[in-house]
Amino acid sequence: MSLNCDKYQALANLLVQLRSDITAVQLDKTHLRQCVADLQQLFQREIVPLATVNSKEQSFRTEISKQLRLLEIDVTFFQGARQAATATTRLQTISDRLTTVIQYCHAILQQETPEVNED
């Protein structure tokens, strides 16, 4: 696996972990905000500087960046939720956004590791 793949896989693993953490019974809002900030820093530090292999990867990377920024906004809205129903809706939105970013990472990983044809 290439270095680029390792970095996208690390990001995807963190996203999956965060998505499972938000289903915890006692979710710490401060911890959630810190995790999202850590994800954003990892993306900026490790993935943005990578050489882009093709325009499709660049498009996915742009979408990941946008989704991570929107995730920060979702977390802010979640932290401001006063009603339990609103908090639940916000958590579902966060979970859905994490799923979207995970799918983008997997799409990049599939491009980076083409299937081996056995003729």
pTM: 0.87
Assigned token pair, 32: 């959630």
Our CA angle for 47, 57, 11, nearest 5°, is 35
Burial class (CB in 10 A: 0-12, 13-18, 19+), 67: middle
For the chain, domain boundaries = 3-112
Q: What is the chain's Cα-based Rg?
A: 16
Look up the CATH architecture of domain 3-112. Up-down Bundle (1.20)
Where do we find the tokens 């083409």? 114
pLDDT at res. 44: 93
Q: What is the pLDDT along the chain (119 residues), one digit of tens a residue?
A: 466 888 999 999 999 999 988 877 677 888 889 999 999 999 999 998 887 768 888 899 999 999 999 999 999 999 999 999 999 999 999 999 999 999 999 999 888 766 544 44
pLDDT at res. 113: 66
DSSP calls for 69-95: HHHHHHHHHHHH--SHHHHHHHHHHHH
Q: Tell which phi-psi region holds residue 116, choosing left (phi > 0), alpha (psi between -120 and 50) or beta.
A: beta
pLDDT at res. 117: 47
Provide the 10 A C-beta neighbour count for residue 104.
21
